[in-house]
Chain A
């Protein structure tokens, strides 16, 4: 492909009208999309995993903190759409369908913080109230799970000859916090895409015109 300054200037001078039209069309489409697209809001919260203090198996004089369950394993479990109850999906997404279950899992992002002992949940859901409601439901569900693991460990240790020295129950380390505004659609990106698409569309339109006029 040959590109030169005279070629670029000649093309622009010859086809500026096509370029303006395609840019206007793309910007209009972008504006329509921005007006109609659902507003996605984000809600974040963090939960500390339950821990216990045990005597180090390597050095009996040392005491180590150990997680009662791995954050990574818990994260993986939460990525299964079938792990949520019917009532949970209904309350959060409006209707319990397989599509909504998949949508919910895809809209949530879980990551490990601190020394991998804190789970951070990030939910991206349509509507400001929905995001907060879903985050509250998810937080309650996570605390239920983690408290269950904590209670089970305590029960196990009651009958164990060498129980743990101390325990830390799961707590909400960062309360639910919503994004300042909607995070999707992103206006600057949509407008940039429209402007770039306008240029490519003009190139395509001009080459089509040249082909069929010839």
Chain B
């Protein structure tokens, strides 16, 4: 009884702290985009002392790509704004980090925190909707089209959330329908189309690993979630009206709509080049949205990771990035779990972020750590185990 009481109290306490953090961010709108990378840097420095592992040769591939693009990309005219090229280089840095730190597991027992996040996150999304209702007097119809979030853009958070679900369900083997129900609620609340795509992929694996009774329930829940988001985000609208499809079409136009022309740019146009002016003019809102200036045609305006990479890094490197991530994750977890771990980020890369997003990378890193902790529980310290 005291243990249950303590756990409930802890849960309520942490939930209230999350609500408080979200409320502050909701009111103040502090810039938070750097937090996942700052946390990653802190972790790298803190765990440098425990560095001890065989490093995959992929580390050198990541390093070569990082330096290659940084030093050898052609520069844009002096009269144009500089690009935020750090975002483009991040996947290569993440590859190096993954190769160096994949076995540098934290001594904290991750399972407890992952379970907690799985439950608290949908509650925070509901809290966000409540705050939107309070501040804007929004009715139910307006709330249905709102994209609630905790700290970051919800596309990023959904990727991380899906990774947490994958850890609990596929790595720890805790096959609870309640967790799936929470996932469905989160996907519905978030209203993310790329999140729905990732969810659909996870559903296929889920479907294959549960009993017939659960299969029917899962299918019904998944169809319900898809129908809800389909209605809310107007998925039946013509493909050409979707912003990411528009930016892809615009870039494909630049290659004269020819796949051969795409193949002819093996390393893309580099990290400093702007989106061609005539394409940028066609999508003026995108540039303004992402850079605050419709004349600053930073390729970030293309939104989708794959489209941006296709233009900046070329088709071969764009394809190489997920493959290198897969090889690194596979080395630690085997190919089946690696496919599952990378499914969310690979799907969300059709949208903003993807492999260049710090939170998505945290999802991959924590999935590997959780797998290693599950296989070798002795890596968790005694004090963490007793929690």
Q: Which residues of A contact B (CB under 8 A)?
A: 1-6, 8, 42, 44, 109, 111-116, 118, 120, 122, 177, 179-180, 183, 186, 189, 192-193, 196
List B48-62 residues whose CB lies under 8 Å from chain A: 48-55, 57, 59
Of the A-B pairs whose beta carbons lie under 8 Å apart in the complex, a sample of 26, sorted by A's number, is A1-B54, A2-B55, A3-B55, A4-B52, A5-B51, A5-B52, A8-B51, A42-B77, A42-B78, A44-B79, A109-B77, A111-B276, A112-B276, A112-B277, A112-B278, A114-B277, A115-B281, A115-B282, A116-B278, A118-B277, A120-B277, A122-B77, A179-B78, A180-B78, A192-B71, A196-B67
Q: Does B222 contact A (CB under 8 A)?
A: no
Report whether B100 and A44 are in contact in the complex, using a CB–CB cutoff of 8 Å.
no
Q: What is the CA–CA distance of A193 and B70 in the complex, to the nearest angstrom? A: 10
Residues of the A chain whose Cβ atoms lie less than 8 Å from the Cβ of B276: 111-112
Q: What is the CA–CA distance of A115 and B77 in the complex, to the nearest angstrom? A: 19
**Contacting residue for A3 out of B53, B67, B71, B79, CB 8 A:** B53
Residues of the B chain whose Cβ atoms lie less than 8 Å from the Cβ of A3: 51-55, 100
Q: What is the CA–CA distance of A120 and B77 in the complex, to the nearest angstrom? A: 10
**Contacting residue for B277 out of A2, A4, A111, A193, CB 8 A:** A111
Q: Does B75 contact A (CB under 8 A)?
A: yes
Interface residues on B, range: 20 to 34
Q: What is the CA–CA distance of A107 and B81 in the complex, to the nearest angstrom? A: 20
Residues of the B chain whose Cβ atoms lie less than 8 Å from the Cβ of A111: 276-277
Q: Which residues of B contact A (CB under 8 A)?
A: 48-55, 57, 59, 67, 71, 75, 77-79, 100, 276-278, 281-282
Residues of the A chain whose Cβ atoms lie less than 8 Å from the Cβ of B53: 2-4
Residues of the A chain whose Cβ atoms lie less than 8 Å from the Cβ of B49: 5
Chain A's closest residue to B256 (CB) is A72
A29 CB to nearest chain B CB (Å): 16
Residues of the B chain whose Cβ atoms lie less than 8 Å from the Cβ of A183: 75, 78
Residues of the A chain whose Cβ atoms lie less than 8 Å from the Cβ of B71: 189, 192-193
What are the 10 closest A-B residue pairs judged by CB atoms, nearest first? A113-B277, A179-B78, A4-B52, A116-B278, A112-B278, A122-B77, A5-B51, A42-B78, A1-B55, A3-B55
Report whether A1 and B100 are in contact in the complex, using a CB–CB cutoff of 8 Å.
no
20 further contact pairs, Cβ within 8 A, besides A3-B100, A115-B282, A179-B79: A1-B57, A2-B53, A3-B51, A3-B52, A3-B53, A5-B48, A5-B50, A42-B78, A44-B78, A44-B79, A112-B278, A113-B277, A113-B278, A114-B277, A114-B278, A120-B77, A177-B79, A180-B78, A183-B75, A192-B71
Q: What is the CA–CA distance of A115 and B167 in the complex, to the nearest angstrom? A: 49
Q: What is the CA–CA distance of A187 and B57 in the complex, to the nearest angstrom? A: 31
Q: What is the CA–CA distance of A44 and B80 in the complex, to the nearest angstrom? A: 10
Report whether B278 and A115 are in contact in the complex, using a CB–CB cutoff of 8 Å.
yes
Residues of the B chain whose Cβ atoms lie less than 8 Å from the Cβ of A113: 277-278, 281
A21 CB to nearest chain B CB (Å): 22
Q: What is the CA–CA distance of A88 and B281 in the complex, to the nearest angstrom? A: 33
Chain B's closest residue to A177 (CB) is B79
A202 CB to nearest chain B CB (Å): 16
Q: What is the CA–CA distance of A43 and B198 in the complex, to the nearest angstrom? A: 47
Chain B's closest residue to A112 (CB) is B278
Q: What is the CA–CA distance of A180 and B59 in the complex, to the nearest angstrom? A: 39
Q: What is the CA–CA distance of A69 and B40 in the complex, to the nearest angstrom? A: 53
B236 CB to nearest chain A CB (Å): 29
Q: What is the CA–CA distance of A42 and B75 in the complex, to the nearest angstrom? A: 11
Report whether B77 and A44 are in contact in the complex, using a CB–CB cutoff of 8 Å.
yes
Report whether A4 and B51 are in contact in the complex, using a CB–CB cutoff of 8 Å.
yes
Q: What is the CA–CA distance of A118 and B79 in the complex, to the nearest angstrom? A: 16
Residues of the A chain whose Cβ atoms lie less than 8 Å from the Cβ of B52: 3-6
**Contacting residue for A2 out of B54, B57, B75, CB 8 A:** B54
Q: What is the CA–CA distance of A186 and B73 in the complex, to the nearest angstrom? A: 13
**Contacting residue for A114 out of B50, B51, B55, B281, CB 8 A:** B281
Q: What is the CA–CA distance of A189 and B74 in the complex, to the nearest angstrom? A: 13
